[in-house]
Structure formats: structure tokens, C-alpha cells
Chains A and B, each alone.
Chain A
Amino acid sequence: MSVTFLDLSKDSSFFVLLGSRKHLSTFYNIKNFFNFFELVFSPFISKRLFQNRYFQTRSLILKELKNMNINPSDIKISMSHNKDDFVALISKKDTNMAIDFEQTNRKISYALDVKISQIQKPDSLSSLGFINMIETLVKITNKKWFYLIENIEIKKMLNFKDVYRVNFENETIYSRFYSYNGNQICISSYKSEVL
């Protein structure tokens, strides 16, 4: 089981770990017993440790961070899962960044596509990209989906490829899209690390 390191930052202020969920073992085995105690004494402690996906992905990330000599207490982690894979955005503790990703071929229902097409947004931002972006904004603003879509203004940044500027409550958020292995990754930040 391996995790892919994606160095997407120009100034090394963040990086992304991408792993597959398909090969993760089940919760109840002896190896996981030891992993569980490691997680209990880490910043990943949560009642969600008993959920298979949470437990397995955090165990894997903890192991990778150890290999990289990174203390989990010194960093901030944002995570996203799709059907087969997961990504973890590792950034400095004083940043407010979030990640979301979807399979590029993920279908959007007709009704949802129509709803999204009625929202004012740049033409270059697809329905899937819009969902991707809003998911990151929900994470960094702690606001609900429908509140956000009524209160944001999205503009494409002309001098940057796949970057959007989001105005929300007198603040600016930057969202950038990346493609990797059939996945579309969106990272949003209150600062300009993603530019």
C-alpha cells in the first residue's frame, strides 16, 4: 500500500498525499490494534476513530508523516475522499486551507446540473468544479452549502491557469484546480499560497 506525494506548492508551504482506499484492510485485525493506540495519542484522536475509513486513512497518513519526520502537532490537515481514493492536504499550522477532489468522470444528475447552471459563475467553471470548490469553501469558512452559494462571488483570475478568486464576507479566498490521474483536485485558501 503506497501513498503518492504531490508537490503542488510553488513555495513548499503545503503538499498533498494521495492514497487508494481500495486496498485498505478491515478495521478488526491485530496490526490495527497498535495503530489505534498511536492514533489515540495523536492529533487525529476523535470518536470517528471507530469508523473504518477515518481510522484507516489517518493510520496511513500518520505513518507517512513519521517517515517524513513531520510532527502531526506542527501541521494542519484537510482531507477528502472519493469512492476509490483519498487525499490529504498538509499545510502549516497558521494556514486555513482545504482540499476536495472528485473523479473527473463523476456524473452530475440532470436536476443538479440545471440548478448549478442557474448560479452566476464563470463559464469555465464546470458543475463538478463548482461542487469541488464549494466543498472546500464549506471546510474553510465553516458555513453551510446553501448559505455560501447565495453569498459568494466567483471570478476567474485571468493571469493564472485554473485559479478563481472568491469574494465572501469582505474577504478573498483563492481556489485552484489540479488534475491528477483521473481526479480533479481543488484547493482553497484565504491566503495566496495556491497562486
Chain B
Amino acid sequence: MQDKLIELIAEALEIDKSEAENDLILDPEENWDSIALLSVIASIDEEFNIQLDGDKLAECRSIPEILKLLEENS
């Protein structure tokens, strides 16, 4: 799940997968904007059939935090 999530986030943030693997910080002032959030919500729904709460996802600042949110919702 972690590997696929990194792939989805890299696509949403328009960055290389290697950048996403490397302690990526999700910053609302830089990369974690509304389109990135919506993209991640849609991709997670399609890939894992999990519907995430947008407000909770917006609070996540790293991929491990999103993984934790996924585990709570799966």
C-alpha cells in the first residue's frame, strides 16, 4: 500500500517518485493545495476504495501521516 500511495502522491504533486519517497513534506503554502488534495482523494478512492475526509487529509503533513489515516479508514 505504501509504495502505491507514494506513486499516487507523486502524480498528484507532479514530482518524481524518488522525491516523494524521500521524507516529503506536504506544505499547504507550496505543494499541498486544493488540486493536489482532490487528486489524492480521487486516486485513493479509485485504487483502495477508501473515501477520505478532505479536512483530515489536508491536515496531513507527510506520507506516513496519510498512511495512518488510510489505516484508520480501511
State the A residues within 8 Å of B (CB): 51-53, 81-83, 102, 106-112, 114-115, 131, 135, 144-146
Contacts and interface: CB of A to CB of B under 8 A. Distances in A.
A108 B39 contact: yes
Contact of A112 (B31, B33, B42): B42
**Closest CB pairs A-B (n = 4):** A109-B39, A112-B42, A111-B42, A111-B43
A83 B30 contact: yes
Contact of A53 (B8, B14, B29, B46): B29
Contact of B35 (A52, A102, A110, A144): A102
A111 B39 contact: yes
B29 A112 contact: no
B62 to A, nearest CB: 19
Nearest to B54: A145
A131 B54 contact: no
Given A52-B29, A83-B30, A109-B39, A144 B11 contact: no
A144 to B, nearest CB: 7
Given A51-B29, A53-B29, A106 B35 contact: yes
- Which of B35, B47, B54: most chain A Cβ within 10 A? B35
A158 to B, nearest CB: 29
B29 A146 contact: no
Nearest to A107: B14
Interface of B: 8, 11-12, 14, 29-31, 33-35, 38-39, 41-43, 45-47, 54
28 contacts: A51-B29, A52-B29, A81-B33, A83-B33, A102-B35, A107-B14, A108-B35, A108-B39, A109-B8, A109-B11, A109-B12, A109-B42, A109-B43, A111-B39, A111-B42, A111-B43, A111-B45, A111-B46, A111-B47, A112-B35, A112-B38, A112-B42, A112-B43, A115-B45, A131-B34, A131-B35, A135-B34, A145-B38
Nearest to A138: B34
Contacts of B29: 51-53, 81
A187 B14 CA distance: 26
Contacts of B39: 108-109, 111-112
Nearest to B46: A111
Contacts of A111: 8, 39, 42-43, 45-47
B46 A114 contact: yes
Nearest to B36: A109
- Which of A81, A115, A144: most chain B Cβ within 10 A? A115
Nearest to B43: A111
